[in-house]
Amino acid sequence: MRKKIRFIISIYLFLLLFLTLLNFINLNVKYINNTEDKKVHLNSKNLDLFFGKNNIFNYKNGFFFKNLLNNSSEIDDHFLYNSRYLINMLIYQIIIKKIESNFHFNSNEYLIKIKSNDFLNKNISFNYNQSYKIKFAFCILSKDKNNNLLYKNENLILIFTQTYLYSKQEWINNFIDYQINFNVTKNENINYFREIFEDSLTPENKYDYTLNNLENIRENLSIFLTNLYANNILNNKSYWLYNDYKIKANVEYYKYLGKIIGKNNFSEFLKEYLSLTFHFLDNPSIKVNINFIILVKLV
């Protein structure tokens, strides 16, 4: 008799647990559906309504700037240009999160561009824990051959406050991430590097770049990336901020992934998967390991 009672109780508890779990699943599905239902179509009218109410954004966190209050000599044209890029990337991250949370947005169909006004100049030193008002504009373009303008807003503001200074390890981790995270391809789930590497169109290069992990190609790629983050001049492109924060790249492995054709069938690019290390020139022990795809154009 007792066994029968225990059996009945066990069945009852099992059913109760099953119904509770089923109810929990239904509640989560409803929550997800409700969240999706709150999103609206991505069009100029809805964007106007949203950014008419949400035109001021705030950032309080660590960032890449030194405390330059007593060292304004490091604020030169080179610093201002590259700091503007970093601020634009920060704004991009803020805006894309807002759009993805509130609109039905497909990054394969639309392109977002950001342009911010300078908030630093040679006469204004940066001081962390101080708020700066940065005016910025952004637009959304279609990713078709015409790049039609869907929306543009030039009256937005970011209240920027750097609340602490990165350690050098935090700095290089975040800095290198900023260099590539704007160009993520969801289908491949990997980043593309921000610059195309142009190398000489020679019979050797045409062949070597289609192989895997040759020492001479690793060296070519390492030199190119190091020049971007350590040298003063490279075809007017150099992305380091401070002399004592220059970075060396060491490509440890690469794999050829094939050729891709550019827009209008005009250019051909070789797609290379890289595994590499970035480290500070003055302290090789502070480093970051990363993987990304780089496009190579032989000219």
208, pLDDT greater than 50: yes
Is the distance from CB of 278 to CB of 292 less than 8 angstroms?
A: no
Q: Which residues are registered as beta bridge partners of 164?
A: 62
The predicted structure's pLDDT at residue 241: 87
pLDDT band at 37 (very low <50, low <70, confident <90, very high): low
Calculate the average pLDDT of the chain.
Answer: 84
Mean pLDDT of the region 267-294: 95
- Report which of residues 10 and 280 the model is more confident about: 280
β-pair type (149-165, 56-63): parallel
The predicted structure's pLDDT at residue 52: 93
Cα separation, 43 vs 25, in Å, equals 33
Cα separation, 264 vs 287, in Å, equals 40
pLDDT band at 186 (very low <50, low <70, confident <90, very high): very low
Least reliable range by pLDDT among 42-46, 175-179, 285-289, 292-296: 175-179
The predicted structure's pLDDT at residue 15: 60
Q: Three-class SS of residue 71?
A: coil
Is the distance from CB of 176 to CB of 287 less than 8 angstroms?
A: no
Q: Residue 205 belongs to what H/E stretch?
A: helix 203-208
**At residue 297, what are phi and psi to the nearest 5 degrees?**
-120, 125
32, pLDDT greater than 50: no
Q: For a pLDDT cut of 90, what percent of the chain falls above it?
A: 56
Mean pLDDT of the region 22-30: 52
pLDDT digits (tens, 9 = 90+) for 224-276: 999 999 986 655 678 888 888 999 999 999 999 999 987 666 789 999 999 99
Cα separation, 191 vs 205, in Å, equals 24
The predicted structure's pLDDT at residue 35: 45
Least reliable range by pLDDT among 19-28, 71-80, 112-121: 19-28
The predicted structure's pLDDT at residue 271: 95
- Report which of residues 91 and 18 the model is more confident about: 91
Strands (E), the chain: 40-41, 56-63, 103-104, 110-116, 131-142, 149-165, 184-185, 190-191, 197-199, 247-261, 268-280, 283-298
Q: Three-class SS of residue 263?
A: helix
Q: How far is CA 232 from CA 153, 220, 239, 250, in A?
A: 35, 18, 9, 19
Cα separation, 30 vs 174, in Å, equals 37
pLDDT band at 31 (very low <50, low <70, confident <90, very high): very low
Q: For a pLDDT cut of 70, what percent of the chain falls above it?
A: 77
pLDDT digits (tens, 9 = 90+) for 87-137: 999 999 999 999 999 999 988 899 899 999 877 766 666 788 889 999 999
